[in-house]
A and B are shown apart, each in its own frame.
Chain A
Amino acid sequence: MANVRLTDIRKSFAKTQVLHGISLDIASGEFISLLGSSGCGKTTLLRMVAGLESVTAGGIEIDDRDVTSLPPEKRDIAMMFQSYALLPHLSVSENVRFPLRMRGIGSREEQQEKVAAALETVQLGHLSERKPRQLSGGQQQRVALARAIVSQPKVLLLDEPLSNLDARLREDMQVELIEIHQRLGLTTIFVTHDQEEALSLSDRIVLLNAGRVEQQGTPDEIYNQPATSFASNFIGSANLVPVEITDSAQGPVAKLEDGQVLHLDPNEAIRGKATLALRQEDLTLSANGMGLKAKVRTRVFLGARNRYVMSLAGHPLRALTANDLDFANGQEIALAIDPARIRVIAD
């Protein structure tokens, strides 16, 4: 267990700069997610912490020790790869024992005890003599997890480890990751592009966009108080509607590009050009009630819910509704939203 400190990390490949000065303080035992779309630099940042990628400028400290120029093997970290990277010529137990053997941790007997314990943790004790290729994807993934935690590294680095699993297994593994983190308390850096995964697993989320930190905070903060239009769109896929906010007799109102007007929370302070972040699940649709007029474009049946894609003031707008609401394509409908649920972001 150790803290990790990144100071103004920059990275350039050839002439393109992919990380523009990222500073992060990660507390000992914290589970932190680097969240962002592909190409935002999250994996590069993780690989720099691992020592697999050189640092163009800036510093990395692990456990208050400068490791910026140390090779990976001297950093006392463990990394779990998206492709699991199990060694195909070694059995499951040899794979898990590998970091202990290479780091010279304990005697042979102690190593075998630790391997057995780690495999028990991921419930794979009975498969220890198999070769990786004889295991299913989910099992391989658990072996990779056992191998990552067996040496009790100072920092555990997870590079989209769940993205190759099907939905059911992914949920199981999320629970398993949370439990293992609670039990072992390893400082963990988790890279993902899946906002739900980041929200459910992390103590803190760092949202990256184009090589910069867009926003960081607890999952609750990130979800409920997105600071920028990018953050609100990325987390919860909120709809972004450009408006102009002015005062009226009934308090602040937002004027859409087509002239429609939406009443805002009386305490809203922002005026002028702004962006409204409207969450899909906060929108209430009705055939002829009060509210903004929008036109239905498509319905996507999701089982428990429906998703409607509408057109509002020329912009596509998505809403999640109960699955018994039935509107026809092209139908004009009314759109209502609780003013308290509207998030206003100044441009």
Chain B
Amino acid sequence: MNDRTENLLLALPGILLLGLAFFLPIAQMLLLSISGPEGFTLAHFVRFLSDPYYLNILWRTVRLSVLITVICALIGFPLAYIMTKVGPKLRLGLVVIVILPLMTSVVVRTFGWMVLLSRSGIVPELLRDTGLVGRTFALMQTEAAIVIGMVQVLLPFMTLSILGVLTRIDGKLEEAARTMGCSFLQTIRTVVLPLALPGIVAGSLLCFTLSASSFVTPNLLGGTRIQVLAASIYKSVTATPDWPFAAAQAVILFVGILLVLVPYIKLTGAKHG
């Protein structure tokens, strides 16, 4: 047995699993999305793309995902930067705090937010009592609630992606920049940010793809009125049930995410090749 076949054998379980559990369902979904009563049809796509209701869902999904990604980056970058500057003990503590949300069940975590954000919850109460918002102010079942809940879940992905890159930056570079006339903020802008860019991009892609395809958190915090694409797919499957239309929506989501991923893979691939 030569090295090649040995490697192939070792990779086989993984390839089989990937094929059966990933490529097969995807292929089936693609087929389903273009099948109608009389064979091949694009009717499901036409229906989705010509209905303002569904276009609105698509737009909301993209808009919220971008917003969540941007907020994650705005919080994640300074957090990761601080983590590289503190001692090892404090860093470990911060890492634990950051990844703690990932260790709790999505349902528990989301119910926690429902308690905090509901009409009589602590957050709206506090805001009303301090007079920052009017009496009718509500957070539950708004896009804001979805954003808050999602940022909490996705922050670790962003923070850890950036942290990985930041820890590899030579601290002497920042010192050198300071001796060359950069203030602290200029150092961040001209040295740290450009060098951390690969981490920020990788974290952003993770955040964007995960939030675009997320379902439980937006559904529970946004309610049925404010739907995102994943929730709409779920509804098409369970309520109607209209499998081909659900498949068409899933394909749109899938292709949308691919469109974001491909330039990134090309860019990083070009750098290594």
Contacts and interface: CB of A to CB of B under 8 A. Distances in A.
B57 interface: no
A217 B35 CA distance: 91
A198 interface: no
A278 interface: no
B179 interface: yes
A273 interface: no
A73 interface: yes
Nearest to A83: B172
A89 B194 contact: yes
Contacts of B177: 87, 98, 102
Q: Helix, strand, loop or mixed for chain B's interface?
A: helix
Interface in B40-75: none
B183 A78 contact: no
Contacts of A51: 178-179
Interface string B6-17: 000000000000
Contact of A83 (B170, B178, B180, B190): B170
B177 to A, nearest CB: 7
Interface in B185-212: 186, 190-191, 194-195
A75 B183 CA distance: 12
B181 A103 contact: yes
Interface in B134-184: 170, 172-173, 175-184
A99 B177 CA distance: 8
B180 A81 contact: no
Contacts of A99: 180-181
Contact of A85 (B173, B183, B190, B195): B173
Contacts of A320: none
A88 interface: yes
Contacts of B181: 73, 99, 102-103, 151
B195 A79 contact: no
A71 interface: yes
A266 B173 CA distance: 58
B196 to A, nearest CB: 10
Given A88-B195, A89-B194, A102-B190, A73 B178 contact: yes
Contacts of B190: 98, 102
B185 to A, nearest CB: 11
Nearest to B178: A72
Contacts of B180: 73, 78, 98-99, 102-103, 147, 151
B182 A102 contact: yes
Interface string A92-112: 000000110011000000000
Contacts of A103: 180-181
B176 A85 contact: yes
B104 to A, nearest CB: 38
A157 B180 CA distance: 12
A81 B176 contact: yes
A52 interface: yes
Among A83, A85, A88, chain B packs the most CB atoms within 10 A around the CB of: A85
A77 interface: yes
A106 to B, nearest CB: 13
Interface string A119-144: 00000000000000000000000000
A334 to B, nearest CB: 53
Nearest to B175: A52
B172 A72 contact: no
A312 B170 CA distance: 49
B4 to A, nearest CB: 34
A343 to B, nearest CB: 40
A79 B173 CA distance: 11
Interface in A42-90: 50-52, 71-73, 75, 77-79, 81, 83, 85, 87-89
Which 9 pairs across A and B sit closest by C-beta, in order of nearness? A85-B176, A102-B181, A99-B180, A103-B181, A72-B178, A79-B179, A85-B172, A89-B194, A73-B181
Interface of B: 170, 172-173, 175-184, 186, 190-191, 194-195
26 contacts: A51-B179, A52-B178, A52-B179, A71-B183, A73-B178, A73-B181, A73-B183, A75-B179, A78-B179, A78-B180, A81-B176, A83-B170, A83-B172, A85-B172, A85-B173, A87-B173, A87-B176, A87-B177, A89-B194, A98-B177, A99-B180, A99-B181, A102-B180, A103-B181, A151-B180, A151-B181
